[in-house]
Amino acid sequence: MASPIVPVLLAGGTGTRLWPVSRDALPKQFLPLMGKHSTYQETLLRVRGPEFGTPIVVTGPDFHFFARRQAEELGIDVTVVIEPMRRDSGAAIAAGAAITLKRDPQAVVLALAADHIVLDPEEFRKTCVAGRAAADLGRIVTFGIKPTEPKTSFGYILPGKAIDGTETAEVERFVEKPDLATAARYVQDGYLWNSGNFLFRADVLLGELQRLEPDMASAVEESVARSNTDLGFVRLDAEAFARSPQKSIDYAVMERTDRTAVVTGRFRWSDIGSWDALFDIAPTDSNGNVLQGPVTLMDAKNCVVHSENRLTTLIGVEDLVVVSVADATLVVPRARSQEVKDLVAKLKADKRPEAIVHRRVHRPWGYYESIDMGERFQVKRIVVLPGGMLSLQRHRHRSEHWIVVRGTAEVTIEKDIKPVHENESIYVPLGAIHRLANKGKIPLELIEVQTGSYLGEDDIERLEDVYSRV
Amino acid sequence: MASPIVPVLLAGGTGTRLWPVSRDALPKQFLPLMGKHSTYQETLLRVRGPEFGTPIVVTGPDFHFFARRQAEELGIDVTVVIEPMRRDSGAAIAAGAAITLKRDPQAVVLALAADHIVLDPEEFRKTCVAGRAAADLGRIVTFGIKPTEPKTSFGYILPGKAIDGTETAEVERFVEKPDLATAARYVQDGYLWNSGNFLFRADVLLGELQRLEPDMASAVEESVARSNTDLGFVRLDAEAFARSPQKSIDYAVMERTDRTAVVTGRFRWSDIGSWDALFDIAPTDSNGNVLQGPVTLMDAKNCVVHSENRLTTLIGVEDLVVVSVADATLVVPRARSQEVKDLVAKLKADKRPEAIVHRRVHRPWGYYESIDMGERFQVKRIVVLPGGMLSLQRHRHRSEHWIVVRGTAEVTIEKDIKPVHENESIYVPLGAIHRLANKGKIPLELIEVQTGSYLGEDDIERLEDVYSRV
């Protein structure tokens, strides 16, 4: 039996086209856009099974703890690789391939985006198996999706003649995003959507890369050779990786190699490139609305409403996207939802924090969320995951009251270490060296009331940190 | 010199047409819709001056503390009259007139809505003075507003011939809300908007009421005769008041008496009967948008955006109303903003609490706001005004941690009474009899963390209360 396919998940994107839900600080692959799992988690679940080996996740230095935690939540073991900076999909896929190759010279890699949605995972797995024979023969197999309508937001692939002994075909043409008339013609002529997922032998891809993009190949291979393992993460060497040209795998390899092949996927798929794209895959109500969260509608049609926590109400509107989250609301016509990225650019220029960070801020040990703020106080909800530990720290301008509302805290204040149980509180005086940890089996939740004349996040002196943040 | 005009403010309305800002629990007259004062406060400020006496405020049993507090904030002394139940403007105006008459048999009353906006208060006062002579002569003077456009949302008045020795005219016709073509003709023909404000001698109005609506007159006069004063409020007798027919002053008197007169007001005025009506009086940006709060727009025209706390963003929309508050968001085309009341009816039928109560809940002693909630805990921000005192109480299912973040609390727990200062905390064990008071000169703010298996507002046993709520 062939060795398992090694999934390489590209989870380093910082998409803002689904703002205000997706932001640079926590982009859409890590968020639950439909159902309870994030698209990254759904991707992991899609490649679980005897056909697949341990996934490699390539992500950025802000997301590696998150990537591991979300895999752990599913009980899935992953290798998390940290890209020191973004060098587009070419370098990320090459890094995943090079790491795989060190482990198994014959390894077949499935490179796939962590922020796509596939509605038929079984069909997806069949497509992987169908493409495998061509990959074993040295082809770089791209996944073409059978179109359901003439989309203008995707690139297209024209399949050519079948490749003997495989269920794949030659690639006759790759084409860029077409206009609507062209897209309609493509669909009629048997073109497929280009999904940006690939199956290949690691040695083949790296060989083609050495031939076509030698600078990228050498930069990535060196960054892997000189990588180090830190808290279980594979950290690519920054100096070497930085030298890689910034190119997508399409430009670097696919459009220039003669080793391509295409396998046809017959699963429902979306890259969720905008709020409007939810219509491709999400269920609708009887008036064609895609709804999530508490929503009340009167005579609304073909709208997307995404409502977190609070109630969202619409009267008499059509083809509108309304997104409401803790700190921001967005209203945009469906047809203009591609312009959300321009709005985010404007918000960044205006230095609005909502452009980048969420109200809930994730940390290696859990998360916190500011729930109220006054002139000289701030209230936070803090959740520390089992085994999590904040840095040993002190503040110059604030004291803190902690009230445990779930679980048990282990609190260090100066030389004292003591447990604080549910419904107990403790006071951290201004200037005191302190630390908060959860040694228990369930998440620790506490309410922190800060008082002082300055309450910024930068009033923190870290004296010791298990996550290497000192 | 004539005795001052006694303003009678009708502040008992429970309008929901400006939901989610205005709700039954705290309707629009008590909310700042433009600027920092509520429309009720703006109304009080409009009738301050040598021409006016101490205002009488007629309001409901849920709003009397609020009406007094908002007057106190302005340093304005008022008599607050509590209607035990709503009996429309006829009974409310009659009650105000009857109370005024007891104090001064010659008194002239100005009956006015507490939820209208007037942009030229000086012009408003001039109109009152202009109408006074006719009122002294025994006329019931209605305020007609010079129209600026053919509105279909107002009733109209056709002035007749001038009344000798006054600046008023006979009323030729009262007409109901017209269609647009009729409204345009009215404007051309010199009709005025019917603003629903009236100036009259108290004895004249009550005399006409006795003649035209004797049941209303006797019910109201008896409820005033049997009223009692409770904590400084005039509480009308419920049994008597309940017997009053429920009729507006227009139906009860104005459309049937021969004593009407009309004075022309040349001030900018709105009854803010819907979100769309803000365009009548609020300033707009260069694209015709009426904006309040943090808002970022891209290519939006002629929209109303009211954004509390969080950021609201719009791309490429026109003629849309977007309102975002702590617990709810509303999106409705301007032209359909009259339908908000239907939406509120639907939300009430669905038993959504957002239909009726706000996130911030006002009490005689101040207010509280739930800022976070979990499975077994709730966090509230509590503000106690100087002199305020909560009831002596206990809970069966929760304990409470209080952290003072501003001011000083006087805390009673069982037999102990002690001060808790800023940046100090105190614990109220489950079942303990306790009380919170502010004996200081500045508002007391504290964060309350409740823990327990049941956290409903009804888990409260009140043992003693300075506001007669036991």
pLDDT, tens digit, 9 for 90 and up, residues A29-40: 999 888 889 999
Nearest to A136 by CA among A263, A46, A5: A5
Is A406 in Cβ contact with B374 (below 8 Å)? yes
Whether B227 and B301 map to the same domain: the answer is no
Contact residues on chain A for B371, CB-CB shorter than 8 A: 371-372, 379
Inter-chain CB proximity B405 and A449 less than 8 Å: yes
Structural domain count of chain A = 3
Q: What angle do CA B255, B257, B259 make, to 5 degrees?
A: 120
**Residue A374 and residue B315: Cβ atoms within 8 Å?**
no
Q: What is the DSSP letter of A3?
A: P
pLDDT, tens only, B341-370: 999 999 999 999 999 999 999 999 999 999
Three-state SS at A184? helix
Residue in A with minimal Cα distance to B380: A372
- Residue finishing a domain among B270, B299, B326: B270
Contact A317 B320 (CB under 8 A): yes
- Give residue-wise pLDDT tens across range B114-136: 999 999 999 999 999 999 999 99
Q: Is residue A76 part of a domain?
A: yes
Element (DSSP H or E) covering residue A76: none
In this predicted structure, the answer to whether residue B426 has a pLDDT above a threshold of 80 is yes
Could you please report the per-residue DSSP string of A217-281? HHHHHHHHHT-EEETTEEE--HHHHHTS----HIIIIITT-S-EEEEEE-S-EE---SGGGHHHH
DSSP of B80-100, one letter per residue?
A: EEE-SS--HHHHHHHHHHHHH
From chain B, pick out residues whose CB is under 8 angstroms from the CB of A432.
Answer: none
Interface touch B333/A340, C-beta < 8 Å: no
Task: Report helix, strand and coil shares of chain B as percent, to nearest 5.
Answer: 25, 35, 40
Q: How far is CA A99 from CA A56, A93, B43, in A?
A: 9, 10, 74
B331/A312 Cβ within 8 A: yes
Q: Is the pLDDT of residue A1 over 80?
A: no
Clarify whether residues B169 and B246 are in a common domain: yes
Taking 90 as the threshold, does the pLDDT of residue B51 lie above it?
Answer: yes
CB-neighbour burial class of residue B27 (10 A; exposed 0-12, middle 13-18, buried 19+): buried
DSSP state of B276: G
Sorted by sequence, the CB contacts under 8 Å of residue A357 that are 6+ apart come out as A23, A24, A25
Q: What residues of A are in contact with residue B275 (Cβ under 8 Å)?
A: none
Within this chain, do residues A127 and A264 fall inside the same structural domain, yes or no?
A: yes
Q: How far is B134 from chain A (nearest CA, A)?
A: 47
CATH code, domain carrying B445: 2.60.120.10
Q: Do A298 and B326 touch (CB under 8 A)?
A: no
Based on the fold, state whether residues B34 and B93 are members of the same structural domain: yes
Tell me: do A124 and A197 sit in the same domain. Answer: yes
Can you tell me the mean pLDDT for A307-333? 97
pLDDT of B3 over the 90 cut: no
Q: Cα–Cα distance between A308 and A271 in angstroms, integer?
A: 22
The string of DSSP codes covering B117-146 is: EES-HHHHHHHHHHHHHHHHTT-EEEEEEP
Which residue, B193, B338, B184, B319, is CA-closest to B268? B193
pLDDT digits (tens, 9 = 90+) for A326-366: 999 999 999 999 999 999 999 999 999 999 999 999 999 99
* Cβ B222 vs Cβ B60: under 8 Å: no
On whether both A100 and A23 belong to a single domain, the answer is: yes
- Record: contact A315-B336, CB cut-off 8 A: yes
Give the model confidence (pLDDT) of B229-265 as tens digits: 988 899 999 999 999 999 999 999 999 999 999 999 9
Same domain flag for A334 and A253: no
Task: Supply B331's token pair.
Answer: 């999106």
- Shortest Cα distance from B258 to chain A (angstroms)? 44
Q: How many whole angstroms separate alpha carbon A377 and alpha carbon B122?
A: 42
Does residue B110 sit within a domain? yes
Check CB contact under 8 Å for B329 and A307.
Answer: yes
Of the partner residues A315, A329, A342, the one whose CB lies closest to the CB of residue B332: A315
Chain B residues in contact with A326 (beta carbon < 8 A): 310
Distance from the A324 Cα atom to the nearest Cα atom in chain B, whole angstroms: 8
Q: Residues B197-214: pLDDT tens digits? A: 999 999 999 999 999 999
pLDDT value, residue A32: 87
Let me know if residue A95 belongs to a domain.
yes
Q: Which of B339, B414, B420 is nearest to B382 (CA)?
A: B420
Q: Taking a C-beta distance cutoff of 8 angstroms, is the pair B376, B394 a contact?
A: no
User: B317–A311: do the CB atoms touch at under 8 Å?
Assistant: no
Pick A296's closest partner by Cβ from B339, B350, B405.
B350
Chain B residues touching residue A314 (CB < 8 angstroms) = 330-332
The pLDDT assigned to B33 comes to 83
Task: Please check whether residue A235 is in contact with residue A228, taking contact to mean a CB–CB distance below 8 angstroms.
Answer: yes
Whole-angstrom CA distances from A23 to A17, A86, A170, B298, B315 are: 9, 16, 38, 19, 18
**Of B255, B270, B285, which marks where a domain is finished?**
B270
Q: What is the mean pLDDT of residues A73-89?
A: 96
Task: State the nearest Cα–Cα gap between B372 and chain A, in angstroms.
Answer: 7
- Any idea of the CA torsion for A97, A100, A101, A107, to the nearest 10 degrees? -100
| B161 sits in which H/E element | strand B156-162
| Closest residue to B401, CB basis, from A322, A340, A403 | A403
| Structure confidence by residue, pLDDT tens digits, A108-132 | 999 999 999 999 999 999 999 999 9
Distance between CA atoms of B139 and A262, rounded to whole angstroms? 91
> A372 and B379: CB-CB below 8 Å?
yes
List, for residues B12-42, the tens digit of each pLDDT value. 988 889 999 999 999 999 998 888 899 999 9
Contact (CB<8Å) B314/A307 = no
CA pair distance B419, B438, nearest whole angstrom? 10
Q: ∠ CA B37-B40-B45 to the nearest 5 degrees? A: 70
Pair (A108, A213) in one structural domain: yes
Give the mean pLDDT of A45-65: 95
Q: Is residue B469 part of a domain?
A: no
pLDDT per residue as tens digits for the range B212-221: 999 999 999 9
Distance from CA of B426 to the nearest CA of A (A): 10
Check B316 against A307: CB less than 8 A apart: no
Residue of B324, B331, B406 lying closest to A374 (CB–CB): B406
Res. B403: pLDDT tops 70 = yes
The H-or-E segment that residue B112 falls in is strand B108-113
- Three-state DSSP at A12 gives coil
Residue B15 pLDDT: 80
**Of the candidates B322, B377, B405, which has its C-beta nearest A405's C-beta?**
B377
User: A369 with A430, same domain?
Assistant: yes
For residue B138, give both structure tokens: 């025994």
Contact call for residues B449 and B377 (beta carbons, < 8 A): yes
Whether residues B364 and B323 share a domain: the answer is no
For residue A106, is it within any domain?
A: yes
Mean pLDDT on A407-424: 96
Range of the domain at A60: 6-270
CA dihedral B119, B121, B127, B131 (to 10 degrees): 120
**What residues of chain A lie within 8 A of the CB of B313, using their CB?**
20, 328-331, 343, 347
Alpha-carbon span B205 to A9, nearest angstrom? 81
| Position B470 in a domain | no
Distance from CA of A98 to the nearest CA of B (A): 44
Question: Is A49 within the bounds of a domain?
Answer: yes
Chain A residues close to B20, C-beta within 8 Å: 313
How far is C-alpha B3 from the geometric centre of its chain's CA atoms? 27
Whether residues A352 and B422 touch (CB distance < 8 A) is answered with: no
Residues of B in contact with A324 (CB under 8 A): 324, 329
Chain A closest-CA separation from residue B61 CA (Å): 29
- What's the rounded mean pLDDT across residues B396-421? 97
Contact between chains at A310 and B296 (C-beta distance less than 8 A): no
CB B444 within 8 A of CB B408: yes
Chain A interface test: which of B312, B322, B331, B373 (most A C-beta within 10 Å):
B331
Do B317 and B427 lie in one domain? The reply is no
Question: Which helix H or strand E contains A101, and what residues bound it?
Answer: helix A88-103
Kindly tell me if the per-residue pLDDT of A268 is higher than 70.
Answer: yes
Q: Mean pLDDT across chain B, nearest whole number?
A: 95
Give the span between the Cα atoms of B123 and A370, in whole angstroms: 47
Same domain for B368 and B263, yes or no, is no
Residue A33 near residue A117 (C-beta atoms within 8 A): yes
Residue A1 lies in a domain: no
How many CB pairs below 8 A link A and B? 177
How many angstroms separate the CA of residue A35 from the nearest CA in chain B?
21
Nearest residue on chain B to A378, alpha-carbon basis: B405
Please tell me which residue, B13 or B297, carries the higher pLDDT value.
Answer: B297
CB contact under 8 A, A329 and B352: no
3-state SS, residue B423: coil
pLDDT score of B291: 96
Domain boundary pick from A222, A240, A270: A270
Distance from C-alpha of A74 to C-alpha of A42, rounded to nearest angstrom = 10
Q: How far, in Å, CA of A437 to CA of A384, rounded?
A: 7
Find chain A residues with C-beta within 8 A of B340's C-beta.
Answer: 315
> Per residue in A282-304, pLDDT tens?
999 999 999 999 999 999 999 99
Is the pLDDT assigned to residue A454 strictly greater than 90? yes
- For residue B1, is pLDDT > 70? no
Nearest residue of B to residue A307 by CA position?
A: B329
CATH number, domain containing residue B182: 3.90.550.10
Which of A371, A447, A451 has the CB atom closest to B422's CB atom? A451
CA separation, residue B452 to residues A383, A422, B372, B398 (Å): 19, 10, 14, 4
The strand ranges marked E within B350-420 are 360-363, 366-373, 377-384, 392-394, 398-406, 409-413, 416-420
pLDDT digits (tens, 9 = 90+) for B72-87: 999 999 999 999 999 9
Q: What pLDDT does B351 receive?
A: 96
